[in-house]
A and B are shown apart, each in its own frame.
Chain A
Amino acid sequence: MIRHTIGMAFIWVGILFDFLGVLGLLRLPDVYNRLQAATKCVTFGSAGLLFGVFILKGFSSFGFKALLGIAFIFLTSPIAAHAIARASHRSRIPLCPESVVDLYEADHELKEEGGHAAP
């Protein structure tokens, strides 16, 4: 009974985080802000939901597949987010007008001027 309650609590939290991440994806003004909100939706949304499924099903094959899914999501999703962010910055997609600083662009210009050679 207690196990069922804890598992359903994890599933509710996961659904809530998924919904809030999608709301951020819909509302935020910029590619990079949207990427930040969407990555939250991965880390605590679907992973929390899979962890709730693992708690509900116990140490069966279903539960271990859920744990494997959590490990896979945690390994691959930040890599995909990093690749998308770097590609969108290199293909000159502009930041939103309210943003104040772009340190990646400043670093890139510093390397272009030949201050120090890239390793």
Chain B
Amino acid sequence: MRVARWLAGALILGVLAYLNFFVFEAPLLIKLINVSLFSALFVLYRVIRGPSPADRIIAVDILGVLIIGVLALLGLFYDQGFFMDIALIWALLSFVASLAFAKVLEGRRLDD
């Protein structure tokens, strides 16, 4: 059973990687952005079905970090500098949101 699950996971990942890198016709940076977006899809699975609230908080935090990487690659692809501004502001807001969620989870008030 365990081996079957490992094989199914490896098969799904292999099919996704093959379709992304050998079938899909695009520049290389777009393919790398696609890998990050697949990762964001897995993170969304953990957001929806987290067993505890802390799992969802961690998943949202990591989603912010992944989106910073995606924005940097998008700015590199379009050769525009303002994507990094969006990434910096996203990092700031993600940090504040993580601290606020942690305080609420601990059971304290926000102005404590």
Contacts and interface: CB of A to CB of B under 8 A. Distances in A.
The secondary-structure label for the interface of chain A is helix
Contact of A45 (B32, B65, B102): B65
Interface in B66-111: 66, 68-69, 72-73, 75-76, 81, 84-85, 87-88, 91-92, 95, 98-99, 101-103, 105-107
Given A15-B35, A21-B62, A91 B72 contact: no
Contact of B39 (A22, A72, A81): A22
B36 A15 contact: yes
Contact of A73 (B38, B58, B68, B73): B68
Contact of B102 (A25, A56, A65, A80): A80
Interface string B26-64: 000000100110110011011000001111011101100
A77 interface: yes
B68 A56 contact: no
Interface residues of A, number: 46
B58 A15 contact: no
A87 B98 CA distance: 11
A88 to B, nearest CB: 4
A119 B45 CA distance: 43
A19 B100 CA distance: 27
B84 A22 contact: no
Contacts of A6: none
A15 B35 CA distance: 7
B26 to A, nearest CB: 15
B76 A57 contact: yes
B58 A45 contact: no
Interface of A: 11-12, 14-15, 18-19, 21-23, 25-26, 31, 34-35, 38, 41-42, 45-46, 49-50, 53, 56-57, 60-62, 65-66, 68-69, 72-73, 76-77, 79-81, 83-84, 86-88, 90-91, 93
